[in-house]
Amino acid sequence: MKGTIKSINHRGFGFIRAGSKDYFFHRDDFNGFWVDLMDDYTKTKSVEVEFNPMESKRGPRAENVKRTDYPNQSEGGME
């Protein structure tokens, strides 16, 4: 599924907007470089991602989140 980062913070989590739903994600669910994601979101407020949607006890959640503009980033990169 594709969506756009709606919000993200330095505590390591954020929300993705896809259609009319918001999906929670944690930095552990992000495959790429978290610092780059934070920087680009801060500059543009518009970062597109692909993810696997799932339902958790707390609501919609995104797993295996990847940027569409950097598809070759290392998995689990936290630099």
Q: What pLDDT, on the 0 to 100 scale, is given for residue 76?
A: 47
Instruction: Give the dihedral of Cα atoms 27, 7, 24, 77; nearest 10 deg.
Output: -20
Counting every residue written for the chain, the total comes to 79
**CATH code for the domain of 46:** 2.40.50.140
Structure tokens at 40: 């680009």
Distance CA 36, CA 19 (A): 25
Q: Give this prediction's pTM.
A: 0.84
Report if residue 73 sits inside a domain: no
Place of tokens 């990847």: 66
Each residue of 27-56: pLDDT tens digit? 999 998 888 899 999 998 889 999 999 999
Domain encompassing residue 43: 2-67
Distance CA 11, CA 59 (A): 20
Q: Are residues 26 and 65 in contact, defined by beta-carbon separation less than 8 angstroms? A: no
Report if residue 72 sits inside a domain: no
